[in-house]
Structure formats: C-alpha cells, structure tokens
Amino acid sequence: MQKEKLNFEEEPENFHFFASSVAEWRTEKNLDDLLRVMKKADFPFIVFRVELPANAGYGIRNFMPDIDPKKLIKIGFWSFD
C-alpha cells in the first residue's frame, strides 16, 4: 500500500522573512535571497519567518519584529568565526 502524498501550497503573499544584525535589518519574500545578502555583510545575524504579508507595517524592537509572537518563527542564527 502506497502512502498518499500531501501537497502543501503556501501563499507567498501571506508571509515574508526578516533578518537583522547589529548593522542592518532587511525583509525579503525569498529566504535564499535574504541569506545571500546578509552573508555579504559579514556580521552575525538572525532570521525569522513573519506570518504577515511583506507589505505589513510593524515596528522593530531589540533587532526583531515587534508583533504578536505567534506570528514570528525563528529560522536560525548565522555567525562567522
């Protein structure tokens, strides 16, 4: 018996990615594009998935989006030794 494959289609307009370092913060719809840009700066940075449209307005507090914590998913932290 073969397992049924589940197909999850996410609507990209419902979320975006946010990254911040001591030097800058940036948002992007594509995670690969965001990582590529942030790695060029050579500063440690953290990345979140924000469960809001890319054009949503929100504040930044302590290097992260100031939104409902349920809408914020930590992706990871990159550092360069």
Summarised one tens digit per residue, pLDDT across range 5-40 is 545 456 768 999 999 999 999 999 999 999 999 999
Tokens matching residue 26? 């940036």
Task: Report the candidate in 41, 10, 9 with the shortest Cα–Cα distance to residue 23.
Answer: 41
The confidence score (pLDDT) of residue 21 equals 96
Percent of the chain past pLDDT 90, that is, above it, reads 78
The confidence score (pLDDT) of residue 10 equals 63
Say whether pTM exceeds 0.85: no
The confidence score (pLDDT) of residue 72 equals 96
Q: pLDDT tens across 48-58, in order?
A: 999 999 999 99
Residue 47 to residues 6, 8, 9, 57, 74: CA-CA distances in angstroms? 27, 23, 22, 18, 6
